[in-house]
Amino acid sequence: MSALHTLAVGSAGPRVAFLHGLFGQGRNWAQIAKALSGAQGTDARALLVDLPDHGRSPWSQEPSFIRYAEAVARTLEQSAPGERWTLVGHSLGGKTAMVLALTHPALIERLAVVDIAPKGYGDLHRFAEYIAAMQALPLDRLHSRADAEEIFARDVPDPGVRAFLLQNLRRHGSAFSWQVNLAMVARDAARGPDSQIAAFPPEVLRLPPYPGPALWMVGERSGYVDDEDSARMRALFPAVRKLTVKGAGHWVHTDAPEVTVAALRRFIGAH
């Protein structure tokens, strides 16, 4: 796989890479990255990464957290040879970040996982209606993004979710297409309990635990993490510290950006 698309924010300080969730893009972390990069005394050099099959990064035939982690590792190594990174990942990006920390511990100085656990989630039922709505959008009949908004609103009434999904819609001349690898995601979702995106690769569970500092941010109103997941996290990341963010759902950094920035600032600046 060729190099992943990235966006750099900041010019000094520790290196921090951000990984987004399913249907996201690196720029979903832009607000957080800019706040960290502008924090006096705790400046950071952030790298916003488009994961494989997302944004402007290359597509693959099948989803694989092992391959995703390898692609991110190569991107980080090429971006700053010989340096170590704080790695921040949300949801799909959080799984990728955990796999990368376990497979390349020398590359990762600190790990922050946002609202996901190192376990299988059964299937992609949480995203089924979004996938169906995206597939149903008549790309060949769209004349403008306003057309897409109007049609999409019938199936996705929540304006925040609608804007998040439609960020993947790209216009090329008069034609529209999805920038995310929607066909692959739909095929994986159709596998039901055999979904690779919903799973966590069992082979990494046999690797030595990641020895570095780990921050686990969980949304209070999110259903992605339960009490039993704490033992799973401690087994793989013994130095983990859990932070439950009050009032936040699954998109913790969107629901509580100030709390997220403060937590990451302390985490990155801690010795």
Beta bridge partners of 172: 175
For residue 254, give Cα distances in angstroms to 33, 88, 130.
13, 14, 19
Active site residue 147: no
- Is residue 91 part of the annotated active site? The answer reads yes
- The two beta strands, 240-245 and 175-178, are unpaired
- Specify the residue for token string 């993947």: 168
Report the pLDDT averaged over residues 141-156. Answer: 91
Mean pLDDT (the chain) is 94
Of 195, 250, 253, 255, the active-site residue reads 250
Gap between the Cα atoms of 97 and 9, Å rounded: 19
SS3 of 173-236: the string is CCEEEECCCHHHHHHHHHCHHHCCCCCCCHHHHHCCCCCCCEEEEEECCCCCCCCCHHHHHHHH
For residues 60 and 53, the answer to whether their CB atoms sit within 8 Å is yes
Looking at the chain, list the stretches that DSSP marks H as alpha helix, in order from N- to C-terminal side.
30-37, 65-79, 92-103, 128-136, 145-155, 159-166, 182-190, 229-236, 252-255, 257-269
For the segment 240-249, what is each residue's pLDDT rounded down to a tens digit?
Answer: 999 999 999 9
Q: For residue range 185-210, what is the model confidence (pLDDT) as tens digits?
A: 999 999 999 999 999 999 999 999 99
User: One of 37, 57, 91, 195 is an active-site residue; which one?
Assistant: 91
Worst-scoring range by mean pLDDT, 55-64, 141-150, 231-240? 141-150
The residues pairing with 90 across neighbouring beta strands, listed in sequence order, are 114
- From residue 160, alpha-carbon distances to 38, 135, 149, 164 in Å are 26, 19, 12, 6
- Name the DSSP letter for residue 89: E
User: Is 43 assigned a catalytic role?
Assistant: no
Give the active site residue among 50, 53, 115, 188: 188
Instruction: Calculate what percentage of the chain has a pLDDT beyond 90.
Output: 88
